[in-house]
Amino acid sequence: MSRVGAAVLAGAREYRRTPVLLALFVVLPLYAVVVFRAATPDASVTLHLDSTVTTSMDAVMVSVMTPMAGALLAGIAGLFLTRSAADADGRLVLAGVRPGEMILARLGLLAGVSALGTGVAVAASLFTFDPVQPGWFVAGALLVALIYGMLGVAVGTVLSRLAGVYVLLFGPMVDVFLYQNPLGTETPAVAALLPAHYPLDVAMNAAFTGGADPGTFALGVGYLLAVAGLATAVLARTLR
Amino acid sequence: MSRLTAATRAHARSFVRDPVNLAFLFVFPPVVVQVYGQAMERFPELSLGSDPGTVGSIAGTLFATAFVAGLIGLFQLLSARRGDERLLIAGFGRSSLLASRLVTLVAATLVVAAVSLTVLSLGTDVAAPGLAYAALVAGGLTYGLIGVLVGTLLPRDLEGSLVLVFLADMDSALSSGVMAVDTAVADVLPLHHPHAAFSEAVTEGSIAAGDARAVVAYLLVLLAAAFFAHRWVAGDGGERA
């Protein structure tokens, strides 16, 4: 097995040994998708996407909360992977593992956790919600999770575990639920700068209009590459 | 200096030594009040007949106060687990220790409620500031005591914090009127009556007697539960994992 593969497996084992992280795989989709869906009234609402759409309130809630659940899971995972691995990774580098291999292993594991978290959230949502373009909806939701996962890595290098968790809980909640929510009639200027802006636009149009825009998705990928570069830089600094 | 004063001072010093606590007291409420207000202005369909920015600001003010007070309650209880049994052995009375924890919780809640209400009043006309402050403090104490109970059942900082975040967030969403929920469960959530009382005080200048009674009754029940929780944690001088 390659050193990168071994490091990914070791990280996954460490992740598995942290009960709170495993519990979040169940609790977050339940909380964000199932509970909110149950509490949402039967009502029709108008969405202001690339075209104006009238749909049910519960479909909107589920479609917004699904990417949010993935973002919460990935952000907290990024934070924990960074904080729990800092000491051990430094020793592995001293033992001869290249820093690039360690960073690749950490970010690879994070990508896997993000995909798994998004998959669980999407699976929970599909019981009550049927997106027009499921593939693009999942892609948008996954992109939100990956971006927040990378931000979790960066946050993990500057904040304590508890403070970082608060930032990574309230950040996606405010960004996804308040600023990117398609129920809003206008988009504030700050919303376009926030991490979930482009991926949510893709996911919401995929969910309700069938008009997901590959150009917007590409902008989201660009945002991801930028925050991945930031995460790589801060991880590299911890391995020096 | 009485033992109550000494214990309260020690808890307060311990609290303010952590920069995260200070950030929650003085930075978190202004950010939440502003963000909720600005963001909710985008949702005219959810305003339920009121100005959406005001609905959002009121919800944010109560949420910030309740959540921060809940965290303080949680950490007071966790701190009690670590230290109060030793103080009992050293001769402090159980009632003094509980009272010192509660005084610290009340003092912090008074501060965070004052910060939150000040920020709200910068952008919203508060019809009856005194009543609004009382309702806000009551909402904060409600969650402060819930934090104590969460700390009893789940004595870990991270896990307890997560429970409080999700509980307060869901409670705020369902109690604030932002979502016209169709479940009766919303009526018995901890923030339901504090939100009604706070909203009435801000917008109408009075509080319905029924809401005031419900808030007080909720607090008394939680206070009794917190007493038993503290007794369980520090009651016999033995460590409870």
Out of A85-94, B48-57, B111-120, B149-158, the most confident range is: B111-120
For the segment A182-203, the average pLDDT, to the nearest whole number, is: 88
The band of B49, judged by pLDDT with boundaries at 50, 70 and 90, is low
The CA distance from A70 to the nearest CA of chain B, in Å, is: 15
Note the residue count of chain A: 240
pLDDT at A112 over 80: yes
Judge: A39–B174 Cβ closer than 8 Å, yes or no: yes
Chain B CB contacts of A188 under 8 Å are 38-39, 42
User: For residue A141, what pLDDT is reported?
Assistant: 96
CA torsion, ordered B82, B85, B86, B90, to nearest 10 deg: 160
Map residue A53 onto helix, strand or coil.
Answer: strand
Please tell me the pTM assigned to this model.
0.82
Q: What are the Cα distances from residue A92, in Å, to A78, A110, B18, B34?
A: 19, 19, 33, 45
Neighbours of A52 (CB within 10 A): 9
Judge: B40–A178 Cβ closer than 8 Å, yes or no: yes
Please tell me which of the candidates A20, A40, A42 has its beta carbon nearest to residue B179.
A40
Average pLDDT over chain A reads 87
Chain B CB contacts of A45 under 8 Å are 45
Q: Find the residue in B nearest to A179 (Cα).
A: B39
Chain B CB contacts of A169 under 8 Å are 162, 165
In this structure, what are the phi and psi dihedrals at residue A132, rounded to the nearest 5 degrees? -65, -45
Judge: A40–B181 Cβ closer than 8 Å, yes or no: yes
The H or E element spanning position A48 is strand A44-48
The band of B106, judged by pLDDT with boundaries at 50, 70 and 90, is very high
The CA distance from B90 to the nearest CA of chain A, in Å, is: 32
Please tell me which of the candidates B23, B36, B158 has its beta carbon nearest to residue A161.
B158
Judge: A42–B182 Cβ closer than 8 Å, yes or no: yes
**A133-191 residue pLDDT tens:** 999 999 999 999 999 999 999 998 888 888 888 899 889 988 998 888 888 777 778 88
Question: Any chain A CB within 8 A of the CB of B21?
Answer: no
Question: Any chain A CB within 8 A of the CB of B183?
Answer: yes
Please tell me which of the candidates B43, B45, B161 has its beta carbon nearest to residue A162.
B161
pLDDT at B232 over 70: yes
User: For residue A128, what pLDDT is reported?
Assistant: 78
**Ramachandran class of B34: left when φ > 0, alpha when ψ lies in -120 to 50, beta otherwise:** alpha
pLDDT at B241 over 60: no
Please tell me which of the candidates B20, B39, B179 has its beta carbon nearest to residue A39.
B179
Judge: A174–B42 Cβ closer than 8 Å, yes or no: no
pLDDT at B113 over 70: yes
User: For residue B183, what pLDDT is reported?
Assistant: 62
The CA distance from A131 to the nearest CA of chain B, in Å, is: 23
pLDDT: which is higher, B48 or B179: B179
Q: Find the residue in A nearest to B183 (Cα).
A: A39
Q: What's the start-to-end Cα distance of chain B, in Å? A: 32
Out of A185-189, B36-40, B131-135, the most confident range is: B131-135
Chain B CB contacts of A58 under 8 Å are none
The band of B78, judged by pLDDT with boundaries at 50, 70 and 90, is confident
In this structure, the strands spanning A44-48 and A52-56 are antiparallel
ipTM over 0.85: no
Please tell me which of the candidates B42, B45, B183 has its beta carbon nearest to residue A46.
B45
Q: Which tokens sit at B20?
A: 């995260």
